[in-house]
Amino acid sequence: MIEAVVFDLDGVLIQSEEVWDEVRGAFVRERGGRWDAEVQRTMMGMSSVEWSRYLHEVAGIPDDPDTINDEVVRRMLAAYKQRLPLIDGAVAAVQRLATRYRLALASSSNRTLIDAVLDLAGLTPNFEVTVSSEEVARGKPAPDVYLEAARRLGVEPARCAAVEDSHAGIRSAKAAGMRVIAIPNPAYPPDEDSLAQADVTIRSLDELTPELVT
């Protein structure tokens, strides 16, 4: 029996991957680094510690990882405050599930960004627990962030359902032992092998009902 639902953030509640790409791509090019499809895809799901180190060590950004992270987050916050790219149906879906389940959020975004997004969207009261992958040892596709969300809730992972959109996120939640509901992001679709690991696949948040979660 499912007791809790753990949402991903980027690509599930906000259409932010394009914002991440624009912000990080502009920063990398400004600093004379390498920005291409391989770099972009490799970073999906990484924690801030991991992707800032990756940009320094692999993409060739001369700044140290902490400086890279701080500047990218500053630019992301500015972009969100100018326009928050909420996905259609996000607020309604969260509120709908909150009537039956305890809710958590497990995200690769920085803690600062998670808190800002939920505040701007008016969703902070709906989430009992939020976890950033910068708070655990490994980012997605490792299960750490989902396991930590379950631990903070005090609910066994097998009694949690995860809502995910990406290859790294689906694999992360599945590795944690959760029921996985996939909503493939059309702009950044998961590969077929990852999508096959989901327990159920739906087309939009409008289809995410309490009955589907059970």
pTM beyond cutoff 0.85:
yes
* Pair 97, 42 in one domain: no
Structure tokens at 7: 């949402």
pLDDT of residue 44: 84
Which residues span the domain enclosing 155? 4-15+85-213
Mean pLDDT over 194-210 rounds to 97
Structure tokens at 120: 């701007």
* Pair 72, 100 in one domain: no
* Pair 9, 112 in one domain: yes
Percent of the chain whose pLDDT exceeds 70 = 100
Q: Which helix (H) or strand (E) holds 168?
A: helix 167-175
Nearest to 83 by CA among 36, 134, 16, 32: 16
Nearest to 136 by CA among 114, 157, 107: 107
* Pair 108, 149 in one domain: yes
Mean pLDDT over 189-213 rounds to 96
CB–CB of 75/31 below 8 Å? no
pLDDT of residue 214: 87
Nearest to 190 by CA among 72, 77, 41: 41
CA distances from 146 to 64, 92, 160, 207 (A): 29, 23, 9, 23
* Pair 122, 58 in one domain: no
- The Cα–Cα gap between 106 and 123 comes to 14
* Pair 167, 191 in one domain: yes
pLDDT of residue 186: 85
- The Cα–Cα gap between 184 and 77 comes to 25
- Whether the per-residue pLDDT at 188 is higher than 90: the answer is no
* Pair 31, 67 in one domain: yes
* Count of domains observed in the chain: 2
- The Cα–Cα gap between 205 and 109 comes to 20
Instruction: Tell me the per-residue pLDDT of 123-176, one tens digit each, with 9 for 90 and over.
Output: 999 999 999 999 999 999 999 999 999 999 999 999 999 999 999 999 999 999
Structure tokens at 17: 């991957």
Instruction: Tell me the per-residue pLDDT of 67-117, one tens digit each, with 9 for 90 and over.
Output: 999 999 999 999 999 999 999 999 999 999 999 999 999 999 999 999 999
Average pLDDT in the chain? 96
